[in-house]
Amino acid sequence: MSVISSNDFYSGAAILVDGEPFQVLQSEHVKPGKGPAFVRAKLRNLKTGATVEKTFNAGEKIPRANVERSEMQFLYADGDQYVFMDNETFEQIGVSKDILGDDVQFLQENMEVKVVRFEGRVVEVELPSAVELTVVETDPGLKGDTASGGSKPAKLEGGAVIQVPLFVRVGDRVRVDTRTREYVSRV
């Protein structure tokens, strides 16, 4: 089994902590004035989705989690199952809505995603960092409000509600960061 030093943590690294698979979301190397250095990491459990903060000794060897990432294409939704196709083998798999969570609001047909498996079980679906969606519902902006820097809620085609600038109208296509769920630009 391969290991990774806590000093070498990076965002997205898959590690095993107490036999459970975790993904490193953030890590920070801390050197206090007194005492040994340590690494504070924010981790997401790949099985449950729970986020925890954990502290490791600097240089501590942590076993890597054996996760497989494969490029897949979203095909369609069938009730609470979302069907993806492997781009190399053309194998189709169903992923439950529980695993996808709120990310289903950003899924679009034929979207390329990364499917993460641990011990053969799908534990996560990684969306592209940004998606383009159409605004289906929002309040009209007032004339002259385009440069004021204000924002208003807008409902997008997948059902997500985000804050957008006042000049965005129904029918506009907007780019949304899927990690922060924030408006990036109008397309």
Residues 129-143 have a mean pLDDT of: 85
CATH code where residue 162 lies: 2.40.50.140
In 36-71, which positions are buried (b, 16+ CB within 10 angstroms) versus exposed (e)? eebbebbbeebeeeeeeebebeeeeebeebebeebe
pTM: 0.75
Distance CA 113, CA 104 (A): 12
CATH code where residue 37 lies: 2.30.30.30
Final residue in a domain of this structure, among 126, 149, 164: 126
Same domain, 57 and 72: no
* Residue 151 pLDDT greater than 60, yes or no: yes
Same domain, 119 and 137: no
* Residue 149 pLDDT greater than 70, yes or no: no
Same domain, 49 and 7: yes
Same domain, 46 and 76: no
Asked if 163 and 173 count as a contact pair (C-beta separation under 8 A), the reply is: no
Distance CA 125, CA 1 (A): 24
Same domain, 112 and 76: yes
| Domain extent at residue 143 | 130-186
Average pLDDT, the chain: 88
Residues 53-59 have a mean pLDDT of: 93
pLDDT category, 12, cuts 50, 70, 90?
confident
pLDDT for 131 equals 93
Residues 143-164 have a mean pLDDT of: 80
pLDDT category, 162, cuts 50, 70, 90?
very high
Same domain, 110 and 147: no
Q: How many distinct structural domains can be found in the chain?
A: 3
Final residue in a domain of this structure, among 83, 100, 126: 126
Same domain, 48 and 78: no
Same domain, 11 and 34: yes
Final residue in a domain of this structure, among 63, 85, 102: 63
Same domain, 108 and 82: yes
Same domain, 13 and 48: yes
